[in-house]
Structure 1
Amino acid sequence: MASALRRCTACLHPYRPVTLRCSGRAASSSSKSKREEPEPRHIDEDIDEFDDVLGELHRRRKKMDAKRNRTGGDFVDFLRVTVRGGKGGAGTAAFLPTKRGLGPPSGGNGGPGGSVYLETSPLVTSLTSVSNRLIGGQGGHGAGNLRHGRRGDDITVVVPVGTVIREIGREGEAEKTGRENDDLGLSREERHKRTQERWFVQHPTLQPNEREMAEAEGTCRRAGRWSRPTPSFEQEPALEMDISAPLTAPVLLARGGAGGLGNPHFVSGHNRHPRLASRGVLPPTRTFEFELKLLADVGLVGLPNAGKSTLLRALTGRRAEVANYAFTTLHPQIGVVRVLEDGSWAAEQQGPVEETEQEREFDALAREVGEYVPLGRASRDRKRTERTRFSVSDNPGLLARASENYGLGHSFLRSIERSLALAYVMDGRRPDPAADMRVLRAELEAYKAGLAGRARVIALNKTDELPEDEIESKVAALRATVEEFGDNAEVLVISAKFGTGVDRVVHLLADAVDAARPKPTVKEEKPEEIVEKAEVEELF
């Protein structure tokens, strides 16, 4: 006991109570704590040298995934979902009781399975609430005295506007059963017998003969309650939807299976008392890809730790997470810029943007002394009218080879695919912002042709501590790069933290969004319609 206590005291914290049970575990935990991860290497974002650090990128991606899980996984923009309608309930083989023996058949039909529907909601901004398996409710079984089973419960899945849905797979019960029969090596007769056992429900005490089962099989085939192959994508095209506007009615993703037939359906001229019923239909299983592409008007593009979240706060007043390290933003954040007629915007900042951790410390200290004041809403002066508004998305930092899904990869790129205009946010403290811009532009073009051409602003950020000659040389290099590719973008020098040059960013993006938005079409009236309106007005 003494030796165990000494080991425990050596490996645990000196102020923690010592117990005999923890002696073995303490040594193992101590050995694990000694194995520290190696320090991360510096990554040069140059695409030519990126092949040497793919292992480092994989390690960073694991850390990002772990951080997402630790924060609750509050944003999901891609899911692979299995969808199937509910299975139909089974029919029943029953008879009405009489004094002379078997009465007329009275088995009820099975209820149909529930279906799966799709709806949109403006309150939903992520695919977090969507389950990986969507299966409709099973229909109820029939009962005697012609009592039919209840219908299965329908399922409605709610997705945000901007979701793209693609059907990528489809498999039915017939294909699964065929594979199982092949694996078991069953003969033709054994396969047919197994199929009959799948589809028929026999009376608990009365056994049907072969002729009765053959006639019942024909009845089930004619009614569509028998095994049949699932239509391929050539026979029935795959479901593809690009939800760019709210849905006015639910969309059917998977229909529920039909219910089984009760024994009254199998009455024939020579068989007045059928002793079997059929089971319900199991619908095919469909596999969908749900991909959320945000509908923000402007997307902020930049390398990690370039100051995109700080710029979002300066533009919109949204309290995005701000910190001085890479990958602070792990999922897109959207804010709205309201531009007024006098040239200002509603969320124009009154002071420097502080890091989020410092703000939390200030708030905690203010609560302790009783001086905490919560943030109020943005003021809405009725005398100042609004000229336009546009939404801005702060996206995760882009890395080289993101088009091949490295780093956050496609998770970042799909969030700006629908943006009407882009703003490159360049870190002015880096040695060559022009080379960084080439990396960003190459990745956007590799992901989707023409996407890099939507850039309207090249913002050289974090310039408040740089000398004038260094700023001028970097601006000249950026302008030369813009002219080289023929982009319609303006290079600006800003400091998102202190608000320097942000007003010019607001007006350039507002003009770009207004120019890119589709104009409302005015219906031209035909001459005969004008004459008819004039005649109606004369009547009144």
Structure 2
Amino acid sequence: MKFVDEAYIDVAAGNGGNGCVSFRREKFIPFGGPNGGDGGRGGSVYAVADVNLNTLIDYRYARRHEARNGEHGRGSDQYGAAAEDIVLRMPVGTIISDAETGEVMAELLVPGEKVLIAKGGDGGFGNLHFKSSTNRAPRQATKGWPGQGFKLKLELRVLADVGLLGMPNAGKSTLIAAISNARPKIADYPFTTLHPNLGVVRVAPEKSFVVADVPGLIEGAAEGAGLGHRFLRHLQRTRLLLHLVDIAPFDEGADPVKQVRAIVAELKKYDPELHAKPRWIVLNKIDMIPEEEREARVKDFVRRLRWKGPVFRISGLTREGCEPLIQAVYEHVAAHRAPAVELPDVRFEPQPEPAPEPQAPVSDDPRFR
């Protein structure tokens, strides 16, 4: 399935039904009075976060979503039926915003979360609603209220704990395939990854975190080079960035230090908050360097970059050094996760005893015994 992380749609809620002006007319019942019913409510449009979806491709081709109008009121005290609501299922992590004003209307961050996008119009009042002791034959009714309509922009930002960042062919797809259940396309040419991939890393039976692999970023992406900044939005919700560096580039003229600085500059141009996220350096393809040269190569890289943060040496191909990296990442993610909110179990809470019923006062007079 093609990965689509942005779409524009039109939604329109249904209008409310009109109220009815009617009177009861039967042969032997004079002055039957008003019996015009109210109109029905128009259908609303809701959005629901569905964990089984991971793309917005359904909304790339179906752009108009319109709910039905409510039925009009009728005579004989008949109220109009309310229209059914429309439920749009979207991936978890979707941001819904007004395409005209840019205002964010909702963010679907919790699986199963349901939000109202466009409210249906209320039904109008029939003349039955206006009868009173002084107005026994009302001849007025109101029309139904119009439903809301919006032009919406849908933007998907995947929910992941850790994001992989690096130049093309740095080994991001190889690493996520080695440590998780993801199976991205891996090849020996740049820009093999064309869309984000998510993988779940199992540290223990009940310990895991989610890793996101995005297409490679190169210098000049802000001006449209490569795939640009299109997929960096998927790293904005991560808690940690792993900056993969090819410590043994195939091109002898390539300098890993300059590549790191170029990507950091692009991050700062795109979003200062993303640039400020915790970032660890992961030196990949360490297996391509002789063992006697590894330590000197790593020290030279750290000295030239003037890096004071964590540095890991791994090989995504042979999984060398991956286990210490996984353990350190999990400890960092677990320490920064929001504590789970435990809801009280009300099924077995003791119910309050009902108050005793008041009893008649007891009198000593034998006549009241």
TM bin, normalised by shorter chain, reads 0.7 to 0.9
State the one-letter code of the partner of 1:110. Answer: G
Q: C-alpha distance in 2, partners of 1:429/1:474?
A: 15
Query: How many pairs were matched up?
Result: 334
Q: How far apart are the structure 2 equivalents of 1:399 and 1:99? A: 87
For residue 422 of structure 1, report the CA deviation from its aligned partner: 1.3
Per the alignment, residue 54 of structure 2 pairs with 125
Distance (whole Å) between structure 2 residues aligned to residue 473 and residue 339 of structure 1: 31
After TM superposition, give the deviation of residue 387 of structure 1 in Å. 7.8
Letter in 2 for 1:508: A
In 1: Cα distance, 2:292 partner to 2:255 partner:
14
Could you tell me which of 429, 436, 441 is aligned with 2:264?
441
Q: Provide closer, same or farther for how the CA distance between residues 310 and 138 of structure 1 changes in structure 2, counting only shifts above 3 A.
A: same
Instruction: Specify which of 283, 306, 312 is matched with residue 460 of structure 1.
Output: 283
| Distance in 2 of aligned mates of 1:390 and 1:308 | 16
Find the aligned partners of 2:63 and 2:152 in 1 and give their Cα distance.
10
Task: Give the CA deviation at 1:139.
Answer: 0.8
Supply the distance in 2 between the matched residues of 1:242 and 1:437 (Cα, whole angstroms). Answer: 33
Per-residue Cα deviation, 1:94-123 (whole angstroms, up to 9, x for no partner): 444455999754433221101222333433
Tell me which residue corresponds to 1:381.
none
8 Å Cα contact 2:45/2:118 also seen in 1: yes
Equivalent of 2:237, from 414, 418, 431?
Answer: 418
Q: Deviations over 1:321-370 (max 9, x none)?
A: 21223332222211122225xxxxxxxxxxxxxxxxxxxxxxxxxxxxxx
Alignment-derived partner of residue 258 in structure 1: 122
The residue that corresponds to 2:315 in the other structure is: 495
Matched residue, 2:85:
154
CA distance in 2, matches of 1:155, 1:481: 58
Distance 1:98 1:407, change over 3 A: farther
- C-alpha separation between the residues in 1 aligned to 2:117 and 2:187? 43
Contact 1:456 1:508 in 2 (8 A): no
Kept in 1, the 8 Å contact 2:312–2:321? The answer is no
Shift of 1:443: 1.7
> Alpha carbons of 1:401 and 1:469: their partners in 2 closer, same or farther (altered >3 Å)?
farther
What CA distance in whole angstroms lies between the structure 2 residues aligned with 1:505 and 1:273? 78
| Residue in structure 2 matched with residue 478 of structure 1 by the alignment | 301
Quote how far apart the aligned CAs of 1:141 are. 2.2
CA distance in 2, matches of 1:102, 1:330: 76
Identity of aligned residues (%): 37
1:336 aligned to which of 190, 197, 200? 200
**Aligned residue number for residue 37 of structure 2:** 108
**Residue 280 (1) aligns with residue 209 (2):** no
Equivalent residues in 2 for 1:391-430, closer than 5 Å: 391-403=210-222, 407-427=226-246, 428-430=249-251
Change (3 A) 1:404 1:489: farther
Amino acid at match of 2:191: F
Match of 1:432 in 2: 255
RMSD: 3.8
Q: Counterpart amino acid of 1:429?
A: F
Q: Is the 8 A contact 2:245 2:281 kept in 1?
A: yes
Partner in structure 2 of residue 308 of structure 1: 172
How far 1:401 sits from its partner (Å)? 4.2
> C-alpha separation between the residues in 2 aligned to 1:281 and 1:453?
48
- Measured at CA, do residues 93 and 450 of structure 1 come closer, stay the same or move farther in structure 2, by a change above 3 Å? closer
SS at match of 1:419: coil
Preserved contact between residue 49 and residue 111 of structure 2 (Cα < 8 Å): yes
Greater helix share, structure number:
1
For 1:174-323, list aligned pairs within 5 A.
Answer: 240-246=105-111, 250-264=114-128, 272=137, 274=139, 277-323=141-187
Kindly indicate whether the alpha-carbon contact (under 8 Å) linking 1:479 and 1:491 is maintained by their aligned counterparts in 2: no
For residue 211 of structure 2, give the secondary structure of its aligned residue in structure 1. Answer: strand
Query: Distance in 1 between the 2:333 and 2:128 partners?
Result: 67
Tell me the CA shift for residue 309 of structure 1.
1.1
Q: Alignment partner of 1:439: what SS?
A: helix
- CA distance in 1 between counterparts of 2:153 and 2:91 reads 14
Which of 328, 336, 340 is 1:516 aligned to? Answer: 336
Gaps of 5+ in 1: 1-71, 171-232, 341-385, 523-540
Cα deviation digits, residues 116-157 of structure 1 (max 9, x gap): 223334333333455644433311122332322110111223
8 Å CA contact 2:17–2:143 kept in 1: the answer is yes
- Inter-partner Cα distance in structure 2 for 1:408 and 1:109: 56
CA distance, structure 2, for counterparts of residue 256 and residue 76 of structure 1: 29
Contact 2:191/2:215 (8 A) holds in 1: yes
1:415, distance to aligned residue in structure 2 (A): 0.9
Secondary structure at 2:323 match in 1: helix
Matched-pair contact (CA < 8 Å) for 2:106–2:115: no
Q: TM-score, normalised to structure 1's length? A: 0.53
Contact 1:77 1:411 in 2 (8 A): no
CA offsets per residue over residues 494-517 of structure 1, 9 Å max, x none? 432233333343233234323433
Aligned partner letter, 1:82: D
CA distance in 1, matches of 2:8, 2:308: 37
Q: 1:195: which partner in 2?
A: none
Closer, same or farther in 2 for the Cα pair 1:419/1:481, shift >3 Å? farther
Contact 2:281–2:309, Cα closer than 8 Å, also in 1: no
- 2:76 is paired with a residue of what secondary structure? coil
Distance 1:87 1:308 in 2: 51
Amino acid of the residue matched to residue 208 of structure 2?
R
CA change 1:127–1:288 in 2 (3 A) is same
Q: CA deviation at 1:490?
A: 0.5
**Counterpart Cα distance in 2 of 1:403 and 1:517:** 32
Local SS of the residue matching 2:258: helix
State the TM-score, normalizing by the size of structure 2. Answer: 0.74
Aligned to 1:83: 11
